[in-house]
Amino acid sequence: MIVVVAGTSAGYFTVKPVVNLIPLWSNVKNGPWSTNFSMGSTGANPYVRAWVAENGLMALNKSEVIYLDAYSDDDANPLVSSCDYIIQGRAPDARWWDITVYDQDGFLIANDQDRYSFSSTDITFEPDGSFKIHLSNTYQQGNWLPSGNTKTMSIYLRLHNPGPAYLDARTLQTMELPHIIKESSQQ
Amino acid sequence: MKKRILWIGLMILGAVAVAFIVNLALVIRIPNTQMQVTMTEKFNFPSNQWVFSPPSSAASKKVIRPSADLLYSILCYDVSQHPLRVTAMLSEYSSISGFSMNTDNFFVIDDNQAKSNPIEVVLISKGMTYQDTTGKAYVITAPSPQGILMIGAVVTSQADLPNLAQIQKQATAELVR
């Protein structure tokens, strides 16, 4: 009897930690960015499906969209709205892409400009073809993504119809992805 | 003493086995539960009808991590009794996709892949048959009788928004009885 009670309790109380942990094992990582190729796929295991249900319902499979998320900067420090960041890099090889910032609950961050993202069609590129986004809660010239007044943040890079190199875990792990650099802390 | 250690070891092993089974059983239920909650409580849309959503903003709390750059139309399908025929105009950078109750994205067709525009999809449930006489329709078997269809269109500029909304509102859905 004690075995059943102990096992049931352990099984119940470890659901959330396990759901958040197991998909990480199969994640593809590159600097602060990571993705799981099983997202939205009919080949996903029950733990990835549960993670998708709680963290990214209605995710399309990787041939249509790759979702790369970042919870930290290049130095592995958590993204917080009290700091200013630069997201910089070259346009990814995708038919269309966007970079969106979310609050700690995964929702868009309220701001007077109603600016939540920059995409391949509305971002202003540098003369050399690269791009630079200022993630800050104070006005910045150029591509300014307001970070509002939230605790932690996450950044999503969505690649619609990504190029073949993004569909291979080995190349995705080593290719150049946008950098997330902490510029200053306001604290 | 040895017997006691063996007994304790067996109990721990049994508890771990029970924990694993309980954990897996609960985890398997999460996607279905979340989809059910989303469809019946968060969306609460009538079945088999497209519902057009305005662009996502900070006030959008129904689905986690919404895209601010996409216009969505959602349809909560129920093909348990009859096939469902849907049509949709696909603007540039747009797609139509389906999600079963276990959250799987069981099909996605974008504007580059569609064999006609407006695209025509006939959704059927397992065991149903449907003969497409036009040769234009994608006949797709849904893994679960209920689920979600979604049209997502990229908003390339705010100036295009009214036009994109107009295109998306032309999507149709009808049960084939």
Q: Are A180 and A155 in contact (CB under 8 A)?
A: yes
- Within 8 A by CB and 6+ apart from A95, the residues are A160, A161, B93, B112
Mean pLDDT across B89-102:
95
Beta bridge mates, A90: A130
H helix runs in chain A, sequence order: 2-13, 15-25, 46-55, 169-174
Computed on alpha carbons and rounded to an integer, the radius of gyration of chain A in Å comes to 18
Cα A48 from Cα A36, distance rounded (Å): 8
**Superfamily assignment of A2-185 in CATH?**
Domain of unknown function DUF1214, C-terminal domain (2.60.120.600)
Cα A70 from Cα A50, distance rounded (Å): 20
Check CB contact of B97 with chain A, cutoff 8 Å. yes
pLDDT of residue A187: 53
Identify the residue among A57, A105, A112 best suited for mutation to test binding to B, counting B beta carbons within 10 A and taking the highest: A57
Residue type present at position B169: K
Q: B58, B36, B23: which is closest to B146 by C-alpha?
A: B36
Residue type present at position A171: T
- Within 8 A by CB and 6+ apart from B19, the residues are A6, A7, A8, A10, A11, A14
For A94, other C-beta atoms within 10 Å of its C-beta total 18
Per-residue pLDDT band at B47 (split at 50, 70, 90)? very high
pLDDT of residue A186: 63
- 3-class secondary structure, B135: coil
Mean pLDDT across B84-104:
95
Q: Are A69 and A155 in contact (CB under 8 A)?
A: yes
ipTM at complex level: 0.88
Check CB contact of B6 with chain A, cutoff 8 Å. no
Q: A95, A147, A14: which is closest to B27 by C-alpha?
A: A14
Q: What is the mean pLDDT of chain B?
A: 93
pLDDT of residue A151: 87
Residues of chain A with pLDDT under 50: none
Closest approach of chain B CAs to the CA of A109, in angstroms? 5
**What residues does each domain of chain A span?**
2-185
Return phi, psi of residue A24, to 5°: -60, -30
pLDDT of residue A23: 64
Q: What is the DSSP string of B90-103?
A: --TTEEEEEEETT-
Chain pair A-B, CB pairs under 8 angstroms:
167
Closest approach of chain A CAs to the CA of B116, in angstroms? 19
Computed on alpha carbons and rounded to an integer, the radius of gyration of chain B in Å comes to 22
**Residue at token pair 């509002």:** A148
pLDDT of residue B157: 87
Q: Token digits for A176?
A: 């150049």
Which DSSP symbol is given to B158? G
Closest approach of chain A CAs to the CA of B147, in angstroms? 11
pLDDT of residue A109: 96
Q: Name the B residues in 119-158 with CB < 8 Å from any A CB.
A: 143, 148, 150, 154, 156-157
pLDDT of residue A143: 97
Q: What is the DSSP string of A96-140?
A: EEEEEEE-TTS-BPP-TT---EEETTTPPBPTTSEEEEEEESS--
pLDDT of residue A125: 97
Q: Shortest CB distance from A60 goes to which of B26, B65, B97?
A: B97
